[in-house]
């Protein structure tokens, strides 16, 4: 199978290196000629969990997306930021052979949004649970024993998903028959753990001990869960069951989340600190959109979207004081 990885950041570079190390026919698409030339000189060097892989420059096929030919690829993996994936997808699909597959692997609602625009016969749902960093262009480190989760947007098994899974050699790729549930399981945590941390400028373990931090976490999580259920999704268990227990048992359930995810610096906060666009519109913003369509009010998610946008415009700075401000605004 001839595969194109769009995006040579931490995730795209890691996937490309793993595939090429296993002998797969894989190419990389990058933003411009300068980026392509840099990778052609450096090759791909991967270390970390899963073992090292070194792809020397002659074995790296890399070019801007527009330099590839129409109908050239059997599989295109979108490994960019969410907004870039939405923008690039129409161009990328023209590079697919008839009956071939586009696989977005971003957080949030990217896969279903693209399936609505391009057709679920073209788009296969994907989510990444792989943690990786780009040390320098062409130099990557895999940080966890994560995996790619793929599945049909509408659910169920398919021969297509099996073919794509088997083609991703060197990558732990797993099939779900409940892709909608998988999306919402990850959204439940991204909307609360990650985004609230970006607002507060801290990890979950730091903000959850604040009264306003815990209150906002509960508000956002429960609101997101209501939207998920109203859309007909059945979220799947991750570290914890998606439906929290009642009473005092909820404290232990929150503690389990904080133990598993609460020590990491939120990726959205890292984007803010580096001056990069955030994916807020595809995380909490996606919940607001789905809530509107389903007739579910989403004041907590909407307030967080507004604050993150203000932060990215430079009007606010991440701070724990913003948590109390949001909670007071929606009481």
Q: List own/partner pairs for 80-84 with CB under 8 A and 24 or more apart.
A: 80/6, 80/7, 80/9, 80/12, 80/106, 81/106, 81/276, 81/277, 81/279, 82/106, 82/107, 82/108, 82/110, 82/279, 82/281, 82/282, 83/277, 83/279, 83/281, 83/282, 84/7
What is the model's pLDDT at position 60? Answer: 85
Phi-psi region of 108 (alpha: psi -120 to 50; beta: other; left: phi over 0): left
Pairing of strands 139-142, 44-48: parallel
Return residue ranges of the chain for CATH 1.10.1040.10.
180-330
- CATH 1.10.3720.10 for domain 180-330, yes or no, is no
Distance CA 293, CA 307 (A): 22
CA end-to-end span of the chain, whole Å? 54
Locate 53 and state its tokens: 């892989």
pTM listed for this prediction: 0.92
CB 160 within 8 A of CB 137: no
Return residue ranges of the chain for CATH 3.40.50.720.
2-177
What is the model's pLDDT at position 1? Answer: 92
Pairing of strands 132-136, 139-142: antiparallel
301's enclosing H/E stretch is helix 299-312
Distance CA 177, CA 286 (A): 22
Adjacency order of strands within the sheet including 125-128: 125-128, 148-151, 173-175
- For the chain, residues with pLDDT lower than 70 are none
Q: Hey, is 87 helix, strand or coil?
A: helix
pLDDT tens-digit map of 259-311: 988 888 898 999 999 999 999 999 999 999 999 999 999 999 999 999 999 99
Q: Hey, is 64 helix, strand or coil?
A: strand
Q: How many CA atoms lie within 13 A of 225 on its CB side?
A: 14
Phi, psi at 197, each rounded to 5°: -60, -35
What is the model's pLDDT at position 73? Answer: 98
Quickly count: other Cβ atoms within 10 Å of residue 115's Cβ: 21
Locate 269 and state its tokens: 């906060």
Residue 26 bridge partners (DSSP): 3
| 2-177 to CATH, choices 3.40.50.720, 1.10.10.10, 2.40.40.20, 2.40.50.100 | 3.40.50.720
What is the model's pLDDT at position 128? Answer: 94
DSSP states of 220-273 = HHHHHHHHHHHTT--PPPSSS-SSPPSTTHHHHHHHHHHHHHTTSPPHHHHHHH
Total length of the chain = 331
Quickly count: other Cβ atoms within 10 Å of residue 184's Cβ: 25
Query: b/e per residue, 133-161, with b = 16+ CB within 10 A?
Result: ebeebbbbbbbeebebbbbbbebeebeeb
């Amino acid at each position: 199978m001839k595969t194109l990885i769009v995006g040579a950041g931490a995730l795209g570079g890691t996937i490309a290196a793993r595939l090429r190390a296993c002998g797969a026919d894989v190419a990389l698409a990058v933003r411009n000629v300068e980026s392509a030339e840099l990778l052609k000189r450096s090759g791909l060097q991967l270390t970390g969990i899963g073992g090292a892989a070194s792809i020397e420059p002659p074995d790296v096929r890399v070019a801007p997306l527009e330099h590839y030919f129409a109908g050239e690829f059997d599989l295109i993996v979108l490994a960019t930021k969410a907004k870039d994936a939405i923008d690039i997808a129409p161009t990328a699909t023209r590079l697919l052979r008839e009956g071939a597959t586009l696989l977005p692997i971003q957080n949030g609602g990217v896969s279903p949004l693209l399936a609505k625009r391009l057709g679920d016969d073209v788009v296969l749902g994907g989510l990444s649970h792989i943690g990786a960093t780009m040390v320098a262009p062409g130099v990557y480190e895999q940080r966890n024993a994560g995996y790619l989760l793929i599945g049909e947007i509408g659910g169920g098994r398919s021969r297509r998903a099996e073919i794509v899974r088997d083609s991703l050699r060197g990558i732990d790729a797993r099939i779900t028959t409940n892709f909608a549930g998988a999306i919402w399981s990850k959204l439940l945590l991204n909307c609360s753990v990650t985004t609230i941390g970006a607002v507060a400028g801290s990890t979950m373990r730091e903000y959850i001990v604040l009264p306003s931090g815990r209150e906002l976490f509960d508000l956002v999580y429960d609101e997101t869960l209501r939207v998920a259920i109203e859309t007909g999704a059945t979220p799947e268990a991750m570290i914890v069951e998606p439906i929290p227990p009642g009473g005092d048992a909820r404290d232990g359930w929150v503690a389990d989340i904080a133990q598993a995810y609460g020590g990491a610096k939120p990726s959205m906060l890292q984007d803010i600190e580096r001056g990069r666009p955030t994916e807020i519109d595809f995380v909490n913003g996606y919940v607001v959109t789905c809530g509107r369509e389903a007739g579910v009010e989403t004041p907590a998610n909407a307030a967080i979207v507004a604050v993150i946008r203000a932060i990215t415009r430079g009007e606010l700075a991440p701070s724990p004081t913003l948590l109390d401000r949001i909670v007071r605004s929606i009481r």
